[in-house]
Chain A
């Protein structure tokens, strides 16, 4: 304390004027301490209500419907996803992408996804020999029985109470076991953070009552976001009026991305 006093006496006048301010500041801090305690007490309960907007995760259970017949392969979903979620622009990192299937009259299947479909797809040279063709948007299936969550050695990837599979990037050790375990190729290691990355259903938007970016921008409404099993959900209506398939159902991952009008060729 005495050292500080000597120090103060040697201060130039301008800074000496600051000294009472500092005292004032500390005093105010002391007065504010009950507030601090209150914040510390309230924070966990607030965190449970996510953004502090009264969001209750228990009240939701998200899924997505995709109508293959409606997808025109414009790739705006994949583009919007990269923008919204700051996904590296290189063609090796995608939270969502679009595949084009061309089935020839000989029964062969050709699949492509140049840059995830972001720039669209090149027109085939000729329609001759093509039996049928269609586009399939892909993303994390937010499985109810997710192999990625099962294998994560530290529990950095988890299912939220509202049914979304997320990665805690502050906790992920970057072992890549989850990427190996995902049957859908929906995960990648982010080249700068060195942690696992994947579709979050735009969780930051969803908890604020918005739909995921890919759903928002889809010009044909091929993607339907909503509550699984809720009575008045667009997703419920979608699954009611369509024949539904999920990807790789034999692996028992129980995906929550539901495809309508999907060809058996799709893997």
Chain B
């Protein structure tokens, strides 16, 4: 029995025991995988709980479900570790109501770029086989290769499924809710050793971080964004960019009279059109960078294949270092919602520090 069959059996059992009344998990489509919500145990077969493609962030789907009203039924959501962290972050932002939701997360084998998968499908079993041996497939997305937290973390989500370095998957509880669930299901908690596997990821990440960092100020950023279409897909796919009305789509701010365009062209020796392309990316960094989870969906969504995760992930991490904050992992309030009375004096005044 493979992992997906095992999870499906768990769902059917949980349905029968009345522990859950609905499931949200990926389901296959012709060329890809989408999230699906089911409410009957007969429909469980239509799901693929562990999918090789992450087209949307599952936490974003939970936000859509609970945006207006808390979940009415007991919902089991199968989320990757990055999605589970997003879920936690969105709960802090009051975007998801965690009531009645149980999150099951697993040692993530990584996901394949949705467009690559469409033309060269790779089965999930192949990816899982790699991590069972303690390795990782090289077909996965850049963001997955350099993932900082590829395993379920305590207090992020409720139940963890361990797959690394083991032939028989093990369940373990991440929260009290998860403990109760496993007890009611009659599942013994197990453990597996994933420390080395996590360390391997972090090492790759460190090298990547130094190598791919965007440097060189204006020129560096311009080169990096040179093929940007200004389509705002990266923003639309970003689970942290949850504002209903985005500042960068505000026509009162970004519509100009012709005079303005000509003056700019005079002043700057010619301008590129459409305007405000780089400003959009810098602005988005300012708005969401402190909470960037690192799912890399911005990069997957980019129609021009700009490696945007190098921008948002790395600058986001720099921001998180300033506030000593790990989005989706810490219980602390997100930096943009919080403040201390005595902090950050190095950013005051010209030379840092108040007189």
Q: Do A and B share a complex?
A: no
